[in-house]
Amino acid sequence: MPGKQFKILNNKLNSLLQIQADNRGRNFVFGFEMEYMLKSRDNRLRILLENIEKQQVERPEVHANRFDYEIQKLSDVAKEYHELFFEKVNTTKDSIDLKMAELKSEMAKEIKKIEKSCFVLHRKVDVVADAIAKLV
């Protein structure tokens, strides 16, 4: 029974109850009609309560499914950011490794120059030492 029909039935029942109260139970037909209407209203209320209880049971499931979807969506976004972050980290690491290799190469060249200069200096010192030794 739709809500509008229920309201009409409820209003009719209330008016019948008022009529019965006014007649003080003198009309037997109204009694049967009222009993039928009361049972109908009780049935409708029972059905409405069952629907409400069913909705109360289903509501957490619906919310849980919605939250699971949101969590999955956020997890996917986090994975994408994670992949982008590691891609940037790897490119930065490659760049740093390349610069370190260049610096090591330059330092090796400079060390060779210093060693060559040191060797030349040692030879000059040896020449000077020999000259001093000859003079003494």
**What are the sequence ranges of the domains in the chain?**
3-135
Half-sphere exposure of residue 68: CA atoms within 13 angstroms, side-chain side: 6
Look up the pTM and report it.
0.43
What is the token pair recorded at 27? 């009309």
pLDDT score, position 8: 72
| Each residue's pLDDT expressed in tens, for the chain with a length of 136 residues | 456 766 776 777 777 667 666 666 555 555 666 677 778 878 888 888 888 888 888 888 887 888 888 889 999 999 999 999 999 999 999 999 999 999 999 999 999 999 999 999 999 888 888 888 888 7
Half-sphere exposure of residue 85: CA atoms within 13 angstroms, side-chain side: 6
The amino acid at residue 87 is: E
Tell me the residue length of the chain: 136
CB 31 within 8 A of CB 23: no
CB 13 within 8 A of CB 37: yes
Nearest C-alpha neighbor of 2 from the set 48, 66, 58, 69? 48
Q: What is the DSSP letter of 98?
A: H
pLDDT score, position 93: 94
List Cβ neighbours of 23 (8 Å cut-off, separation of 6 or more).
Answer: 30
